[in-house]
Structure 1
Amino acid sequence: MIIVTGAAGFIGSAMVRQLNDAGHLNLVVVDEFSRADKNRNLLNKACIQKLDRADLFAWLDRMHASVDFIFHLGARTDTTEQDTEIFDRLNLHYTQKLWAQCTQYNIPLVYASSAATYGLGELGYEDNHNIVTQLKPLNPYGRSKNDFDIWALQQEKTPPFWAGLKFFNVYGPNEYHKGRMASVIWHTYRQIKESGKMKLFRSHRPDFQDGQQSRDFIYVKDVLKVMYFLYKHQKDSGLYNLGTGQARSFFDLASNTFRAMGQEPNISFVDTPEDIRDTYQYFTEANMAKLRSIGYAEPFYSLEAGIEDYVKGYLLEGLGPKVF
């Protein structure tokens, strides 16, 4: 059996699809299932059991001998939430307990870290274990992810294989329920559909033109391929960046979304809100050498190809939004 936590969410539900398509039907899916708006992400996907996240640990104590692997993708991901207790409970302590069980029961573990651990990128975006304690995340969400990474690297006893994946800006199907935390591509599509226009943040730095602020945008289908590679690989434990290795501008993102919708770009600029202006990231780009060094050789979707697949395959009128 393979366990997927956060299985009704964005990346978790997409991973269930990836596993099903690869022939893995004996899945145990874990989430907080009271939100009906997420449950449709699991429609037409095969699993043998659904577990509430609060019941996972007792279940593992009973059933661990039958578990081959765990993808821990469940977390509180709201970067605007300021209650550190929520993040300590759901992101830090929950993952520590799961790590302890994986160690005790010899179960390999892949878990979701985040590029939010890098803060403003003062030390760059290299997945080097030596800099983890020096990173300065910008919000409680990022700090909770970095706190766990620090803790994991300090452990003498570990699962037989583990990988913490520093997701950069993931976009793609099954994110429709995320509200403000959905990708910029999702929000761009919605804004264009409603108004025929897109407003981007103006640059407040002389070294960046308006709209040229950049992120490493990675299509969720690439994320799934990397995670499945690690499931098959199961060696070279550690932290890994998961982006494309190529930063792209918000102007490129918006322009390509217009084109995928069959429209000419109509882009204007508004001031970045003052409450986030001082901590706004102007550039992120994953150093992907470490993942490549352990044998992952697949190409990543370009921003153009990823947006076209996402918009035309899952968002355009009549599909809306179609679940992967």
Structure 2
Amino acid sequence: MIIVTGGAGFIGANLVAALNGRGERDILVVDHLQQADKFRNLSGLDIADYLEAEPFLARLEAGSFGPVEAIFHEGACSDTMASDGRYVMTNNFEYSKTLLHWAQKANVPLLYASSASVYGRSGSFTEARESEDPLNIYGFSKFQFDQYLRRHWQELRAPVHGFRYFNVYGPREFHKGRMASVALHFSRQYRLDGHVHLFAGSGGYADGEQRRDFIHVDDVCAVNLHFLDHPRSGIYNVGTGVARSFNAMAVAVINGIEARRDGPIRELEKLQKAEIIRYIPMPESLHGKYQSFTEADTRQLRAAGYQAPMLTVEEGVARYIAWLEEQPE
């Protein structure tokens, strides 16, 4: 059996789909379905069982599931604006520690979701302590588990891989609300209103020129499966290694939609002039907590053996738009 925590969520459900694509069906999905419509992410996928997160650990430690091949730990409170620090630390830090110790005792590989949010506004994105300075409780919870793992490296007997995801976008993120990718937000805005909203200049960047490392979820899944097949314990950045502006993402989304309508393909300046791309002030709640620039340093990922090319924003958005067009939403 393969266990996927957070398996009804965005990255978790895509991992289940990728595992199904390899012929895997003996999959236990662990999640919270308080938000009931997350079930849509698992529709059409094949799993052996589903279990809520609360009873899962007790049943795992009781040996209720038979042999476990691997654990993909994607479950977490991922709201970067969360204010209940105790809840976030319990779900993201304490839960992860318990899984780590069980996996080591049972000699089961653990592949878990860390986050590029651990870097904050350090301006450096290398997997090293001096680069890490989280800006919110979510980033802090991920940082603390990475630190905890580092203190236990010498004791490991089973592989452990931590993946610092950068800005992931792609299918199965409808349920994420305001935490969904800007690709989804831009797509919805353009379809409904005929224009998109980006943040005005901030952090030394011009309007819409804040930059992120946007990575398609298919590439995230490919990295996870690579290290399942070729274990090499470590903490790795998972991004394209190329920062792109929010303007570039908006242009890719608009042109991706227009290409499917046989509509006009336009450049940034023309979209700005036509007020199809518009700029709004950054909310006060994000001041001091916003990463204006991220770009994965992928040298450790590549040195560990992952050599597949990543989708560009244009390639990934086109793939995502095609998927969105097929969904009832």
- The reply to whether residue 239 of structure 1 matches residue 235 of structure 2 is yes
The 5 Å alignment of 1:5-154 reads 5-61=5-61, 62-63=63-64, 66-122=67-123, 124-128=124-128, 130-131=129-130, 135-154=132-151
- Deviations 1:216-258 (Å, cap 9, x if unpaired)? 00000000000000100112x1110000000000000001111
Matched residue, 2:324: 315
Q: 1:159 to 1:190 in 2, by over 3 A?
A: farther
Asked whether the equivalents of residues 202 and 292 of structure 2 are also in contact (C-alpha less than 8 Å), the reply is no
Greater CA drift, 113-122 or 54-63:
54-63
Q: Which residue of 2 aligns with 1:305?
A: 315
Structure 1, unaligned runs of 5 or more: none
Q: Is the 8 A contact 1:164 1:239 kept in 2?
A: yes
- Correspondent of 2:245 among 249, 268, 278: 249
CA 100–272 in structure 1, closer or farther in 2 if over 3 Å, else same = same
* Identity percentage of aligned residues: 39
Q: Secondary structure at the match of 2:172?
A: coil
SS of residue matched to 2:155: coil
Partner Cα separation in structure 1 for residue 91 and residue 157 of structure 2: 20
Task: Provide the aligned length of Structure 1 versus Structure 2.
Answer: 313
What one-letter code is carried by the residue in structure 2 that aligns with 1:55? P
Equivalent of 1:218 in 211, 215, 226:
215
Q: Output the aligned Cα RMSD.
A: 1.5
Q: Which runs of 4+ in 1 moved over 3 A?
A: none
Counterpart of 1:285, as a letter, is E
Residue in 2 that maps onto 1:196: 194
So what's the TM-score if we normalise by structure 2?
0.91
In structure 2, distance between residues paired with 1:159 and 1:25: 27
Mind listing any 5+ residue stretches in structure 2 that lack a counterpart? none
- Deviation, 1:25, is 1.0
Give the superposition deviation at 1:159: 4.9
SS of corresponding position for 1:66: coil
Shift of residue 65, structure 1, vs aligned partner: 5.1
